Amino acid sequence: MRALIFNSGMGTRMGTADKPKCMAELGGCTIIKHQLHALAEAGITDIVITTGHLADVLRGHIKDYDVNFAHNPLYSATNYIYSMYLAKTCFEDNTQPVLVLHGDVVFEQSVINELTKTKDNAVTVDKDVPLPEKDFKALLIDNTIHKIGVDVFADGAVACQPMYRFTALAFDAFMAKVIEFCNSGNTGVYAENALNTLLPGLMLKPLYLSGRLCQEADTPQDLQEIRQRIVL
């Protein structure tokens, strides 16, 4: 199994001007090192990380880890769909399932373990918490995801953390759509805009968090909440 981690954003809401926000401290460990350790514990060491803002700082921070990088020089003018597009050469002739996650997400080990063990195409959701106003939500109908986005408020919507497990075939289909979008100039949208064109035919299933920690550290307040919950 392989992993793709998006780390091309500028982290303006986090306020980390001197480093990528994935380098925010959790308490003796940064977010990105927590992720890499958790992935290794789950048996995943084939990892591609996209970079953008302060790429050299991030590379230096994880220089002891054997990972591949895909740099997005247009990080300030594009969304992570373009970073995924630029990572396409790392996934040519891919025959393995792929985990896709963002570099600012902090999660319990059990979450990544469950993602690696499932045979489904899956995304983490939590139907037991209120719908976030601005963050991602998923439209869940008959135990299948029909749409993912920040604007999903219809009946059946549940809170969603865009952390995925795809079969090799499904990831190839997703990447093909990303390439199609970017070749058409649609580089400022979420990668989920491309993914939604494949749903529900892709049969993306919910992986229920049931209150487990799987949270984006987008602001200093988010980071403080995570520090209070996480066990390192």
CATH number of the domain to which 49 belongs: 3.90.550.10
Residue found under tokens 């789950």: 42
Q: What is the number of domains present in the chain?
A: 1
Domain that holds residue 50: 2-229
Best CA proximity match to 123, nearest among 138, 109, 113: 138
pLDDT tens series, the chain, 232 aa: 999 999 998 766 666 678 999 999 998 899 999 999 999 999 999 999 999 999 999 999 999 999 999 999 999 999 999 999 999 999 999 999 999 999 999 999 999 999 999 999 999 999 999 999 989 999 999 999 999 999 999 999 999 999 999 999 999 999 999 999 999 999 999 999 999 999 999 999 999 999 999 999 989 999 999 999 987 6
